[in-house]
Amino acid sequence: MEKVVLFGSGQNGREALGIYGADRVLCFCDNNPGLIGTSIDGKAVISYDEMKQKYQEDHCKVVVTPTNNYEIIMRLEADHIENYEEYISIKERYVKNKQSLCGTEAQQHDAQLDDYVERARKIDFLEGAEEFRVLVNEVLDKYKKENFILAHYKYGESGFYGNIHALMDFAGIDQKDMELAYFPIVSHHDTIMEFPHVKYLYNTATIFPGCNYRNSIHERKPWAPIFAVGPYISYAKSLYSEQQIIELKRKYGRIASVYLLHTCEGENNKGLQRVLLDQIYEDYKKQYDTLFLSVYWSEMDAELYTHAKKMGFHIVSAGFRFDSDFARRLRTIFELSDLIITDSYATPLTCAIAMNKPIDFTTDKTEMDQFDVTTQSSMRKLIYTEEYFQQEHFCNSMFSNSSRDSLKHLDKLECYLGLRQVKRADEIRAIFEISNQIWEAADGDLLRYDHGVQKTLKVLEEKNDIMRLRLLREALGYGNNL
């Protein structure tokens, strides 16, 4: 029987030891320097480099035990360690039980997030930047002191930026209609760039704007339905009526909205962005009555934006990323805007294209060179590869100054944007129902998920359910042919 090395010596690793058996397990491997050289249940804990040597000498299999394992898998593949498998813990195997396993603590956690959201909704997001900044500091203080998770247990990633709520509202889906645990994941990866780690994040039914990740995910998980629904902003409703928008336009006049790369890319870029903001202000202050600077929630207290406010920028924010109204606020800001100015290929750019807004893409080579230097952690090296920068070069050529008022060759971005993939309300509802049907066919068991997909396909074929069959076949990469 093939010997294995268990990567990860935490709770899942110890559980895996019992599953695989002491006779089959050679040792543990762990990235924690404090554990290397120790032993757990009689099995030595070795370093990553030692594991690589053992892999070559003993021809063993590496079993990756942590739940959040994409960084480990990317590293294994980068080092040509192909004989590995992912361990699914007993807790993770039955998805319907995840929320109940979290129990009262998770409910209290989500209730706390909901309280922050309700308080934020009482603040005028166009005029209440200072009030929102105070609330943000309270949330960040809790995050830093208590390691408070800034996501709902009940929604996970799907709850980011109000994406799942926009889809549900559009399709008239009530949480009571279906099993929440069986909903498809709504990915927040909606940029005009393809990140290599994303293909490791999804194993089951997932919604994206475009189909750009479908093939790479199917290389690993061929039975994971990857649905393309177009830009999420297409489904969000404005917070204001048409008449209220007209009145706000009278108040603010012509608006240029600025969106800069936010904190996930590191504070080292803030000095460069200050120079960029200064230049933007000088270039546009005479052409527009109001310059909105839309600030990512966690940066409300950053010195950069204090500087911007003193210059004359009007600070606005779409709110917390865990707020279900985020997408609605974002849409409202775009509806008010006459021009979108951005320095990244992130969500604001895709939203501007989807809403047919004029775009000025602004950056400089100095900024990008500095960005390269300041992002060289081991994980960053795996993400920001040569292929990534080739994509970046392609995007730079598309969003040059010559294309400020009209985007040329938009078809080249269709796989990312999904402009032709926008669905009707009944199709969005059908996607959620298909995901529920798959999980029910799999008895809620992640290890039986492939069987659930195949069984659902068969049932849809027998019922001649043309629409759902088309949606599922497309999500599996079969094309439009039935």
Spatial CA neighbour of 205 closest among 189, 188, 221, 191? 221
pLDDT digits (tens, 9 = 90+) for 120-144: 999 999 999 999 999 999 999 999 9
Report the C-alpha gap between 431 and 227 in whole angstroms: 8
For 321, the 3-state DSSP assignment is coil
Please report the pLDDT score of residue 260 as a whole number.
87
Q: For residue 115, what are the contacts with CB-CB under 8 A and spacing of at least 6?
A: none
What distance in Å separates the CA atoms of residue 335 and residue 352, rounded to the nearest whole number?
Answer: 10
Domain boundaries, the chain: 4-93, 244-319+328-407
Architecture category of domain 244-319+328-407 in CATH: 3-Layer(aba) Sandwich (3.40)
CA distance 32 to 308: 42
SS3 327: helix
pLDDT tens per residue, the chain (482 residues)? 899 999 999 999 999 999 999 999 999 999 999 999 999 999 999 999 999 999 999 999 999 999 888 899 999 999 999 999 999 988 888 876 655 545 688 889 999 999 999 999 999 999 999 999 999 999 999 999 999 999 998 899 999 999 999 999 999 998 887 888 899 999 999 988 888 889 999 999 999 999 999 999 999 999 999 999 999 999 999 999 999 999 999 999 999 999 987 744 344 455 667 888 999 999 999 999 999 999 999 988 888 888 899 999 999 999 999 999 999 999 999 999 999 999 888 899 999 999 999 998 876 544 444 444 344 455 555 556 667 677 777 776 666 654 444 455 677 789 999 999 999 999 999 999 999 999 999 999 999 999 999 999 999 999 999 999 999 999 999 854 33
Rounded CA gap, 420 and 378, in Å?
37
406 φ/ψ angles, rounded to the nearest 5 degrees: -150, 135
Residue 371: the pLDDT is 43
Look-up of token digits 């393809």: 194
User: What is the DSSP-derived secondary structure letter of residue 26?
Assistant: E
**Tokens coding 305:** 């934006």
Whole-Å CA distances, 465 to 78, 228, 434: 43, 19, 11
Q: What pLDDT score was predicted for residue 404?
A: 46
Nearest Cα to Cα of residue 308 among 258, 358, 248: 258
Helices 326-336/347-354 angle, 10° precision = 60
Q: By the 8 A CB rule, do 355 and 233 touch?
A: yes
Residue-wise pLDDT tens digits, 221-272: 999 999 999 999 999 999 999 999 999 999 999 999 999 877 443 444 556 6
Of 324, 311, 301, the C-alpha closest to 279 is 311
Q: Could you tell me whether strands 206-208 and 226-228 are parallel, antiparallel, or unpaired per DSSP bridges?
A: parallel
How far is 320 from 162, CA to CA, in rounded Å? 10
Q: Which residues of 188-220 are buried (b: 16+ CB within 10 A; e: fewer)?
A: bbbbbbbbbebbbbbbbbbbbbbbbbbeebbee
- Which helix (H) or strand (E) segment holds residue 39: the answer is strand 39-40
Would the CATH topology of 4-93 be identical to that of 244-319+328-407?
Answer: yes
β-pairing, 314-316 vs 290-294, is parallel
| Of 261, 84, 26, residue with least CA distance to 17 | 26
Rounded to two decimals, the pTM is 0.88
User: Per-residue b/e over 26-54, b at no fewer than 16 CB within 10 Å?
Assistant: bbbbbbeeebbeeebeebebbbeeebbeb
Task: Identify the CATH homologous superfamily for domain 4-93.
Answer: NAD(P)-binding Rossmann-like Domain (3.40.50.720)
Q: What is the pLDDT of residues 36-74, one digit of tens each?
A: 999 999 999 999 999 999 999 999 999 999 988 889 999
Residue 409 CB coordination number (10 Å): 9
* 312: nearest Cα among 294, 279, 341, 290: 290
> Does residue 187 come out as left (phi exceeding 0), alpha (psi in the -120 to 50 range) or beta?
beta
- CB contact burial 305-326 (16+ within 10 A = b; e otherwise): beebeebebbbbbbbbbbbbbb
Output the six-digit token pair for 461: 């074929």
From residue 113, give the alpha-carbon distance in Å to each of 116, 124, 125. Answer: 5, 19, 18
Q: Distance between CA 109 and CA 386 in Å, rounded?
A: 40
294, 318 Cβ separation under 8 angstroms: yes
Q: Among 348, 344, 336, 337, which residue's Cα sits nearest to residue 361?
A: 344
Note the helical H segments in 172-302. Answer: 214-220, 242-252, 270-284
What's the pLDDT at 284? 95
Amino acid 304: pLDDT: 84
What is the side-by-side strand order in the sheet with 226-228? Answer: 185-186, 206-208, 226-228
